[in-house]
Amino acid sequence: MPASVILGAQWGDEGKGKITDLLSEKADIVVRYQGGNNAGHTIVIGDQKFALSLIPSGVLYPTVTPVIGNGVVVDPRWFFEEKAALTKRGIDPSKVKISNNAHLIMPYHRKLDAVIERYLGSAMIGTTKRGIGPAYTDKFSRVGIRIQDLFDEKIFLEKLDVALKMKNKILVKVYNQLPLDFEEIAEEYLGYADRLAPHVTDTSLLVYDAITSGKNVLFEGGQGTLLDIDHGTYPFVTSSNPTAGGAPVGIGVGPTLIDNVIGVTKAYISRVGTGPFPTELLDETGDAMIDIGGEYGVVTGRRRRCGWLDMVALRYSARINGLTEIALTKLDVLSHFDPIKIATAYTANGETYTEFPRQQRVLYECEPQYEELPGWNVDISKVNRWEDLPANARAYVERVEELAGVPIRTVSVGPGRIATLDREA
**Shortest separation between residue 171's beta carbon and ligand IMO, angstroms:** 18
The one of Mg ion, ligand IMO, ligand GDP, none whose footprint includes residue 126, by CB under 5 to 8 A per kind, is ligand IMO
Q: Which of 13, 220, 228, 332 binds Mg ion (CB under 5 A)?
A: 13
Catalytic residue list: 13, 41
Nearer to ligand IMO, 115 or 403 (CB): 115
The residues that touch ligand IMO, with contacts defined as CB under 6 A, are 8, 12-13, 38-41, 125-128, 130, 132-133, 222-224, 227, 238-239, 272-273, 298
Nearer to ligand GDP, 203 or 412 (CB): 412
Nearer to ligand IMO, 149 or 220 (CB): 220
The one of ligand IMO, Mg ion, ligand GDP, none whose footprint includes residue 394, by CB under 5 to 8 A per kind, is none
Nearer to ligand IMO, 127 or 329 (CB): 127
Q: Which of 10, 11, 18, 245 binds ligand GDP (CB under 6 A)?
A: 18
76 in Cβ contact with 196 (< 8 Å)? yes
**Shortest separation between residue 309's beta carbon and Mg ion, angstroms:** 18
Q: How far apart are CA 146 and CA 137, in angstroms?
A: 13
Q: How many CB atoms lie within 10 A of CB 207?
A: 26
**Shortest separation between residue 374's beta carbon and ligand GDP, angstroms:** 20
In degrees, rounded to 5, the angle at the alpha carbon of residue 307 between the alpha carbons of residues 43 and 231 is 75
Nearer to ligand GDP, 330 or 409 (CB): 330
The one of ligand IMO, Mg ion, ligand GDP, none whose footprint includes residue 227, by CB under 5 to 8 A per kind, is ligand IMO
The one of ligand GDP, Mg ion, ligand IMO, none whose footprint includes residue 159, by CB under 5 to 8 A per kind, is none
Q: Which of 5, 11, 14, 160 binds ligand GDP (CB under 6 A)?
A: 14
Q: How far apart are CA 3 and CA 6, in angstroms?
A: 10
Asked if 113 interacts with Mg ion (CB under 5 A), we say: no
Q: Which stretch binds ligand GDP (CB under 6 A): 6-14, 118-126, 247-255, 315-323?
A: 6-14
**Shortest separation between residue 305's beta carbon and ligand IMO, angstroms:** 10
The one of ligand IMO, ligand GDP, Mg ion, none whose footprint includes residue 130, by CB under 5 to 8 A per kind, is ligand IMO
Residues 40-69 that bind ligand GDP (CB under 6 A): 40-42, 44
Q: Which of 2, 8, 36, 40 binds Mg ion (CB under 5 A)?
A: 40
Asked if 332 interacts with ligand GDP (CB under 6 A), we say: yes
Q: Which of 265, 414, 421, 423 binds ligand GDP (CB under 6 A)?
A: 414
By CB under 6 A, name the binding residues for ligand GDP.
8, 12-18, 40-42, 44, 294, 298, 329-330, 332-333, 412-415
